[in-house]
């Protein structure tokens, strides 16, 4: 496999050319992409309308944000001042493509206005894990060399194997570039919906624990949550105009940082993402407290895969599980007389 | 007052004497990050740390705090109990100068006007701040741009300097001086120690790379309220609460009632709130004066760099850099300030439509 | 200073339903202990944070005037969780009151001037407090001509009908009621508040205009008042803002660097023009 | 929550769990009624909430019930195909399938929340399923996970 940094450079050049052409031929009015972060281990979404800003676009393994978030109804991007819909080009790694397709299935976005600039994603670094392992020392600069992530500080330099310190979800990711949909995809696209097999062995040891152990582990993981909702605001699938935690008629769950309320928020958000989550890992990458929600994402994917053989955002035709039903759905979980 | 020396292995001794009288809060490692918690034994303390993720503000102004408790007869309130735990003495160990300065800003805010927030003020009254100078500030720190510096000690009661195997101890306030006199076993600091302290101070100050010129930022902000620059600044903002919940000077809170209805009692609590949330200024009629991320990002910056200077004569930011590190889309406050500073054209030209 | 968040306890003495839709009620509260009432000296236009302890707290303008001894009145429209809670209360229930907050109408500076009171919808409650205060026998002589223009969507929505009738009988006050659209059996004027104000055409010299109502009504009325050559300092209005603490600490009711709960809710148009247009 | 020792379960033998039962108005509620009319005995542990259809049950209801301190939650609807609203129970079945797995993943004991079908004619079946649920929840002991102790 070619060295990662060469791959990144190659991808960066292609997306710049594609974006420049799209803008030049007036095919799109705006390009949504990533630009260099001002702080190590981060990147920043950018909205480009002028051609000369194109070289601000970058691609590296720290482009963790799911840009489809800005297309969902709450994002102000889709309409210009006069209220007309504008055409948007979007740098689409696999999960961004999945998010766009799923938002189309849920009738939230209009695919004619969207041009996906597809890329073959080579994995996103688990920035929070590296941040925690470096600890209190300051990271001045990070780069990818060969098979390793090099993290430099003023008096130290550490290397991390890329394959191990990649995001958990990226390790298992089977949809590395956006599935092709009509003519709305330029650059790297999957011709047909990929065949997904996954044994979900990474969460099997968690699942085999007893309820007590699971509860204590969940409590320990989630208890540092400060309810800042960065995970909800970074998630492309969370676009409700008024989230259930913000409703006050009725007040469903409390807004405090008592563990009951934290549990209620994370559990019900997970429940709302069943069959919709596109496993982009943005929620874990943005959490200021470094809470790793990826194992919940994996469980959601597993439930929906095993019960309904469905993977979200790969095929515009099949309806997600929660939007349909079948007479012969499995029902072993139902209680029967013994 | 003469600087003293506290050997690092004597900290345990110091701690046992203090913990009878004070609740001692110190930096510990919690889930991979540093946090200030009440400690029970000295082993928990993390000595080699930069700064906490959530600022020590959460000790005196916690994210969830009881305003009062009440008893009911099933339908109506029959009795309201005020808080009784405000007289406990707290000792905040290992506070960085920027966070110590944030307590001054918080106190200024909570004491302003003809209504004082007694809860915060009493707790601040009964707390002793033992601060430590920053030997290695980070690139995101800009305390020198907001009238602070890595070894600023005037907002603390006792100031420590980490000399490697020992601390240089200096009492700053009377509270601090009176506390130090109690530990006769502290040895006097030698000239060399004091000199080393000053060198560390100088070295730390040079480590700060970020220089922001805030001289006329306040006027610039005031005259550019509806400048188009705010659209660009808030363009990729997601509207989450990370920047405010990790900010040592954010004071906004929401008030909620919690009932244990089967026990006929309840409590009114306050929890942290942020101007970035949609409910923050939403009127019951549905009207929302700050409806999108443009107004909300603007309000956060204006509040700290324009309203605070106008109302209290202090810049509402201590330059700790936590919001820069925490922002999910890396909306860097330093970039925002630079953009505001070099707004050339007057406000009229590019108005937000 | 005691804990500013602890409310004083009061008991509901009477509940009056003010409109046909029965979603606006006036609660009359009597303080449980006497010195709380003596400490609670307020001027018209101030508000208080009244709480149904267990449900929450909401900022409501004080509808009674300080001249009405013994109790305080609040007119509450049933909108959210807490206000619906108030509507389910009955006589004898306990309500928490914190206040008085805000600066209220500048009754001192208004002395010796004509007063034009323009109200719309259920925001009339703080104006009722002001008018009752002005009409009080030992205050009336300090003020010149008083004109009241009160607009509503339809007759069923008019608040304080009995007091309005009584004021109409007075000779030292001119009361003009209006509704948006013609309804048979309605004797008074018809039309939006702004055109009616133009029709009444109060003179602007040595006069103060007090405007309180829904934002659209305020905007149109101020335009008319400016036509009648009312200067910015002469136009006062009371702003509606989301509030939680009422004492300038929870941070949400700011317009620019001013807090509506401590620097307002009454602002003159001159002050409002200095503040950013964020309300 | 302390580990429930053998001895504990014996002690609270007479402890009666409180289970909230969301019964669909057309089948399960009528089934419960039939069980009552034909004097079939079943433990008094359930508190019935009548809902138009099992499809009306929002996962919030179940999580809210557990948070408020209920020891168990039971949701019962018509057999697939009998639904008065034709597809209510089919939609619900998918929702409950996902909900049950997720609750288990988050550490809630699976036996606390159970789903069943019971038609209007199955008084017997309704009573035996109530017995079974009560036995399962009793074995787990009271729901101490969500106590906000202040």
Shared domain for C93 and C118, answered yes or no, is no
Mean predicted confidence (pLDDT) in B166-184: 91
Whether A201 and chain C come into contact, CB under 8 Å, resolves to no
**How many percent of chain A have pLDDT more than 70?**
97
Q: State whether C80 and A251 contact (CB < 8 Å).
A: no
At least 3 CB pairs under 8 A between chains A and B? yes
Instruction: Sheet with D72-77: list strands edge to edge.
Output: D46-51, D19-24, D72-77, D113-117
Nearest to C150 by CA among C183, C179, C113: C179
Counting the structural domains of chain C, the total is 2
Nearest to A56 by CA among A20, A96, A26: A20
Shared domain for C93 and C119, answered yes or no, is no
Residue that wins the pLDDT comparison between C276 and B262: C276
Query: Which of C46, C76, C100 finishes a domain?
Result: C100
Evaluate if residue D99 carries a pLDDT over 90.
yes
Evaluate whether residue C256 is within a structural domain: no
What tens digit of pLDDT does each residue of D2-53 get?
445 555 555 566 889 999 999 999 999 999 999 999 999 999 999 999 999 9
Evaluate if residue B53 carries a pLDDT over 90.
yes
What tens digit of pLDDT does each residue of B25-50 get?
999 999 889 999 999 988 899 999 99
Q: Cis link prior to C241 (omega < 30° from 0)?
A: no
* pLDDT score, position B151: 94
At least 3 CB pairs under 8 A between chains C and D? no
Query: Which of C48, C74, C100 finishes a domain?
Result: C100
**Per-domain residue ranges for chain D?**
16-140
Candidates B70, B119, B299; nearest CB to C3 = B119
User: Any idea which residue has 């619906």 for tokens?
Assistant: C84
Which residues of chain A from 254 to 273 reach within 8 Å of chain B, CB to CB? 254-258
Q: State whether B279 and A232 contact (CB < 8 Å).
A: no
* Residue in A with minimal Cα distance to B32: A132
**How many percent of chain C have pLDDT more than 70?**
100
* pLDDT score, position B345: 58
Shared domain for C234 and C118, answered yes or no, is yes
Mean predicted confidence (pLDDT) in D122-148: 93
Tally of helices (H runs) and strands (E runs) in chain B: 13, 12
Residue from C85, C242, C247, C265 to probe the interface with B (highest B Cβ count within 10 Å)? C242
Whether A251 and chain C come into contact, CB under 8 Å, resolves to yes
Residue from D35, D98, D147 to probe the interface with A (highest A Cβ count within 10 Å)? D98
Three-state DSSP class for residue D115: strand
Contacts of C3 in chain B (CB under 8 A): 67-68, 82-83, 118-119
Residue from C252, C258, C276 to probe the interface with B (highest B Cβ count within 10 Å)? C252
Evaluate if residue A335 carries a pLDDT over 70.
yes
Candidates A299, A307, A337; nearest CB to D129 = A337
Whether A47 and chain B come into contact, CB under 8 Å, resolves to yes
Residue from B121, B284, B286, B312 to probe the interface with C (highest C Cβ count within 10 Å)? B284
DSSP string of C150-167?
Answer: EEESSGGG-S-HHHHHHH
Whether B260 and chain D come into contact, CB under 8 Å, resolves to yes
Contacts of A274 in chain D (CB under 8 A): 98, 102
Evaluate if residue B153 carries a pLDDT over 50.
yes
* Residue in B with minimal Cα distance to C11: B76
Q: Is the Cβ–Cβ distance between A309 and A275 less than 8 Å?
A: no
Shared domain for C140 and C218, answered yes or no, is yes
> In the A/C pair of chains, how many CB contacts fall below 8 A?
5
Mean predicted confidence (pLDDT) in B119-144: 94
Shared domain for C118 and C176, answered yes or no, is yes
Shared domain for C28 and C124, answered yes or no, is no
Q: Is the dihedral of CA B111, B115, B121, B122 positive or negative?
A: positive
**Per-domain residue ranges for chain B?**
4-61+74-207, 217-341
Measured at the CA of C60, the angle between CA C54 and CA C62, to 5 degrees, comes to 125
User: Any idea which residue has 């700011």 for tokens?
Assistant: C254
* Residue in C with minimal Cα distance to B303: C257
Q: Is the dihedral of CA B72, B78, B83, B84 positive or negative?
A: negative
Evaluate whether residue C270 is within a structural domain: no
CATH class in words for D16-140: alpha beta
Evaluate if residue D125 carries a pLDDT over 70.
yes
What tens digit of pLDDT does each residue of A44-67 get?
999 999 999 999 999 999 999 999
Rounded CA gap, B12 and A72, in Å? Answer: 55
Mean predicted confidence (pLDDT) in C132-161: 91
Whether B58 and chain C come into contact, CB under 8 Å, resolves to no
Which residues of chain B from 240 to 259 reach within 8 Å of chain D, CB to CB? 258
Shared domain for C135 and C79, answered yes or no, is no
Contacts of A249 in chain C (CB under 8 A): 80-81
* pLDDT score, position C121: 87
Whether A147 and chain B come into contact, CB under 8 Å, resolves to no
Å between A223 CA and nearest CA of chain C:
26
Q: ipTM greater than 0.95, yes or no?
A: no
Q: How confident is the model at residue A75 (pLDDT cuts 50, 70, 90)?
A: low
Mean predicted confidence (pLDDT) in B271-294: 92
pTM (two decimals): 0.94
Q: State whether B109 and C249 contact (CB < 8 Å).
A: yes
Evaluate if residue C25 carries a pLDDT over 50.
yes
Nearest to A3 by CA among A150, A178, A175: A150
* pLDDT score, position D1: 41
Q: State whether A256 and B256 contact (CB < 8 Å).
A: yes
* Residue in C with minimal Cα distance to A249: C81
Evaluate if residue A74 carries a pLDDT over 60.
no
Evaluate if residue C87 carries a pLDDT over 80.
yes
What tens digit of pLDDT does each residue of A193-229 get?
888 888 899 999 999 999 999 999 999 999 999 999 9
Q: State whether B280 and C4 contact (CB < 8 Å).
A: no
CATH number of the domain within which C83 lies: 2.40.30.10
> In the B/D pair of chains, how many CB contacts fall below 8 A?
4
Mean predicted confidence (pLDDT) in B294-322: 94
Whether A248 and chain C come into contact, CB under 8 Å, resolves to yes
* pLDDT score, position B343: 85
Candidates B78, B83, B113; nearest CB to C262 = B113
Whether D148 and chain B come into contact, CB under 8 Å, resolves to yes
Rounded CA gap, C268 and C235, in Å? Answer: 6
Least confident of A99-103, D5-9, D107-111: D5-9
Residue that wins the pLDDT comparison between D87 and D148: D87
Residue from B32, B45, B237, B300 to probe the interface with A (highest A Cβ count within 10 Å)? B32
Candidates A268, A321, A335; nearest CB to D59 = A268
Q: How confident is the model at residue A2 (pLDDT cuts 50, 70, 90)?
A: low
Q: Is the Cβ–Cβ distance between C230 and C203 less than 8 Å?
A: no
Q: State whether B251 and C247 contact (CB < 8 Å).
A: no
Q: Which residue range forms the structural domain that includes residue C14?
A: 8-100
Q: State whether B67 and C3 contact (CB < 8 Å).
A: yes
DSSP string of A161-218?
Answer: EHHHHB-HHHHT----SPBP-TT-EEES-BSSPPP-----GGGHHHHTS-HHHHHHHH
Three-state DSSP class for residue B94: strand
* pLDDT score, position D47: 96
* pLDDT score, position C133: 94
* pLDDT score, position C77: 94
């Amino acid at each position: 496999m070619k060295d990662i940094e060469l791959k990144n450079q190659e991808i960066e050049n292609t997306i710049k050319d594609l974006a420049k052409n799209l803008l030049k031929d007036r095919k799109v009015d705006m390009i949504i992409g990533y630009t260099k972060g001002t702080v190590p281990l981060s990147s920043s979404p950018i909205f480009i309308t002028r051609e000369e800003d194109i070289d601000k676009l970058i691609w590296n393994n720290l482009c963790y944000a799911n840009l489809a978030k800005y297309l969902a109804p709450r994002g102000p991007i889709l309409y210009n001042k006069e209220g007309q819909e504008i055409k948007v080009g979007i740098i689409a790694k696999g999960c961004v493509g999945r998010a766009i397709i799923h938002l189309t299935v849920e009738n939230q976005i209009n695919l004619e206005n969207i041009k996906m600039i597809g890329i073959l994603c080579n994995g996103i670094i688990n920035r929070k894990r590296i941040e925690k392992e470096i600890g209190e020392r300051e990271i001045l600069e990070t780069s990818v060399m060969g098979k390793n992530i090099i993290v430099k500080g003023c008096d130290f330099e550490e290397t991390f194997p890329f394959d191990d310190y990649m995001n958990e979800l990226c390790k298992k990711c089977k949809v590395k570039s956006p599935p092709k949909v009509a003519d709305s995809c330029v650059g790297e696209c999957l011709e047909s919906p990929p065949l997904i097999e996954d044994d979900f062995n990474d969460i099997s040891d968690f699942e085999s624990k007893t309820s007590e152990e699971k509860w204590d582990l969940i409590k320990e993981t989630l208890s540092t949550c400060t309810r800042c909702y960065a995970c909800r605001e970074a998630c492309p699938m969370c676009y409700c105009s008024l989230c259930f935690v913000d409703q006050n008629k009725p007040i469903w769950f409390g807004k405090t940082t008592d563990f009951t309320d934290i549990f209620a928020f994370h559990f019900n958000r997970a429940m709302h993402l069943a069959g919709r989550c596109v496993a982009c890992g943005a929620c874990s990458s943005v959490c200021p407290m470094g809470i790793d929600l990826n194992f919940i994402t994996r469980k959601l994917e597993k439930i929906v895969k095993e019960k309904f053989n469905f993977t979200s955002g790969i095929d515009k035709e099949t309806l997600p599980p929660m939007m349909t039903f079948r007479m012969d759905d499995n029902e072993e979980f139902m209680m029967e007389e013994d | 007052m003469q600087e003293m020396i506290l050997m690092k292995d004597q900290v345990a001794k110091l701690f046992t004497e203090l913990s009878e009288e004070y609740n001692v809060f110190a930096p510990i490692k919690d889930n991979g990050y540093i946090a200030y918690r009440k400690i029970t034994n000295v082993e928990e303390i993390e000595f080699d740390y930069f700064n906490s993720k959530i600022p020590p503000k959460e000790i005196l102004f916690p994210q969830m705090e009881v305003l009062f408790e009440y008893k009911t007869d099933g339908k109506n309130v029959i009795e309201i109990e005020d808080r009784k735990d405000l007289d406990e003495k707290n000792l905040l160990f290992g506070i960085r100068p920027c966070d110590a300065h944030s307590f001054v800003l918080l106190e200024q805010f909570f004491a302003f006007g003809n209504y004082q927030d007694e809860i915060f003020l009493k707790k601040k009254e009964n707390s002793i701040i033992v601060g430590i100078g920053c030997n290695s500030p980070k690139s995101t720190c800009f305390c020198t741009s907001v009238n602070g510096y890595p070894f600023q000690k005037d907002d603390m009661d006792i100031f420590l300097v980490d000399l490697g195997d020992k601390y240089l101890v200096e009492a700053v306030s009377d509270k601090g001086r009176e506390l130090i006199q109690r530990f006769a076993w502290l040895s006097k600091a030698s000239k060399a120690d004091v000199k080393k302290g000053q060198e560390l101070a100088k070295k730390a100050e040079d480590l700060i790379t970020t220089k922001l010129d805030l001289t006329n930022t306040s006027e610039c902000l005031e005259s550019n309220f509806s400048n188009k620059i705010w659209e660009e600044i808030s363009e990729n903002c997601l509207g989450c609460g990370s920047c405010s919940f990790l900010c040592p000077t954010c004071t906004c809170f929401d008030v909620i009632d919690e009932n244990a209805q089967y026990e006929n009692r309840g409590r009114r609590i306050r929890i942290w709130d942020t101007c970035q949330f949609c409910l923050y200024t939403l009127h019951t009629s549905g009207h929302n004066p700050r409806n999108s991320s443009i107004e909300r990002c603007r309000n956060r910056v204006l509040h700290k760099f324009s309203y605070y200077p106008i109302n209290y004569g202090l810049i509402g930011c201590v330059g700790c850099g936590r919001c820069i590190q925490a922002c999910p889309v890396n909306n860097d406050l330093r970039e925002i300030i630079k953009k505001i500073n070099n707004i050339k054209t007057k406000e009229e030209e590019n108005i937000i439509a | 200073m005691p804990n500013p968040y602890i409310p004083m306890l009061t008991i509901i003495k009477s509940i009056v339903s003010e409109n046909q839709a029965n979603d606006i009620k006036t609660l009359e509260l009597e303080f449980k202990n006497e010195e709380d009432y003596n400490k609670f000296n307020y001027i018209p236009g101030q508000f208080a944070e009244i709480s149904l302890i267990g449900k929450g707290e909401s900022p409501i303008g004080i509808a009674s005037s300080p001249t009405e001894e013994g109790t305080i009145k609040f007119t509450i429209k049933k909108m959210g969780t807490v206000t619906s809670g108030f509507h389910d209360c009955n006589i004898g229930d306990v309500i928490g009151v914190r206040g008085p907050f805000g600066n209220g109408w500048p009754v001192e500076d208004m002395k010796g001037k004509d007063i034009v009171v323009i109200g719309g919808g259920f925001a009339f409650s703080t104006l009722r407090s002001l008018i009752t205060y002005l009409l009080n026998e030992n205050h009336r002589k300090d003020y010149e001509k008083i004109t009241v223009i009160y607009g509503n969507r339809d007759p069923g929505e008019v608040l304080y009908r009995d007091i309005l009738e009584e004021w109409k009988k007075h000779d030292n006050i001119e009361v003009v009621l209006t509704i948006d659209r013609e309804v048979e059996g309605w004797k008074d004027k018809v039309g939006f508040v702004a055109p009616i104000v133009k029709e009444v055409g109060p003179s602007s010299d040595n006069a103060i205009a007090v405007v309180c109502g829904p934002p659209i009504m305020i905007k149109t009325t101020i335009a008319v008042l400016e036509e009648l050559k009312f200067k910015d300092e002469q136009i006062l209005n009371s702003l509606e803002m989301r509030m939680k603490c009422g004492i300038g600490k929870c941070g949400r009711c700011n317009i620019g660097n001013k807090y509506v709960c401590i620097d307002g809710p009454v602002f003159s148009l001159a002050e409002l023009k200095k503040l950013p247009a964020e309300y | 929550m302390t580990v429930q020792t053998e001895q504990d379960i014996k002690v609270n033998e007479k402890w009666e769990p409180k289970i909230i039962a969301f019964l669909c108005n057309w089948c399960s509620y009528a089934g419960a009624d039939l069980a009552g009319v034909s004097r079939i005995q079943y433990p008094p542990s359930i508190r019935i909430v009548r809902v138009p259809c099992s499809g009306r049950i929002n996962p919030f209801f179940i999580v809210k019930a557990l948070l408020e301190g209920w020891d168990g939650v039971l949701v019962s609807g018509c057999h697939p195909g009998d639904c008065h609203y034709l597809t209510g129970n089919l939609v619900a079945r998918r929702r409950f399938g996902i909900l049950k797995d997720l609750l288990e993943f988050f550490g809630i004991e699976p036996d606390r929340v159970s789903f069943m079908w019971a038609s209007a004619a199955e008084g017997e079946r309704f009573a035996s399923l109530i017995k079974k649920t009560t036995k399962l929840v009793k074995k787990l002991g009271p729901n101490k996970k969500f106590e906000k102790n202040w």
